[in-house]
């Protein structure tokens, strides 16, 4: 089983600046996936980025990138050039061999104009 911890309940960033959201996890498995999901006020859950644990290279998707530290079990999300539309809740999640997806408690990100 996996556990996911997001210890920061909220963060704020100025538009166009960079922000990093923290996440740690625990698992006894070697082959697992990590995800970041965005939930805007519309409540839709949107997949932002995924990381396969056996891949050492950090995943990137346009302005979004991760810092995956497998030994430290850390999986942070970096948002570059923050935009007003990035304002949302962000959830870190992990899935192991049984495909059960476990979420952290989420962090509320506000982008200030």
Applying CB under 8 A, which of residues 26, 29, 47, 61 lies at the interface with another protein? Answer: 47
β-bridge mates for residue 35, sequence order: 50, 93
Applying CB under 8 A, which of residues 80, 95, 108, 110 lies at the interface with another protein? Answer: 95
Which of 48, 47, 69 has the alpha carbon at shortest distance from 57? 69
SS3 45: coil
DSSP 76-87: EEEE-S--GGG-
Residue 84 sits in the site that holds another protein (CB under 8 A)? no
Residue 33 sits in the site that holds another protein (CB under 8 A)? yes
Q: Which residues bind another protein (CB under 8 A)?
A: 33, 35, 37, 43-45, 47, 50, 91, 93, 95, 98-106
């Amino acid at each position: 089983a996996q556990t996911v911890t997001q210890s920061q309940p909220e963060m704020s960033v100025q538009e166009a600046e960079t922000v990093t959201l923290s996440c740690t996890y625990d698992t006894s498995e070697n082959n697992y996936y990590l995800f970041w999901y965005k939930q805007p006020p519309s409540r839709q859950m949107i997949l932002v980025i995924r990381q396969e644990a056996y891949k050492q290279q950090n995943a990137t998707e346009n302005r979004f990138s991760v810092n995956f530290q497998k030994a430290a079990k850390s999986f942070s999300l970096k948002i570059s050039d923050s935009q007003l539309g990035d304002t949302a809740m962000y959830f870190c999640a992990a899935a192991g061999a049984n495909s059960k997806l476990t979420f952290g408690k989420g962090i509320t990100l506000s982008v200030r104009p």
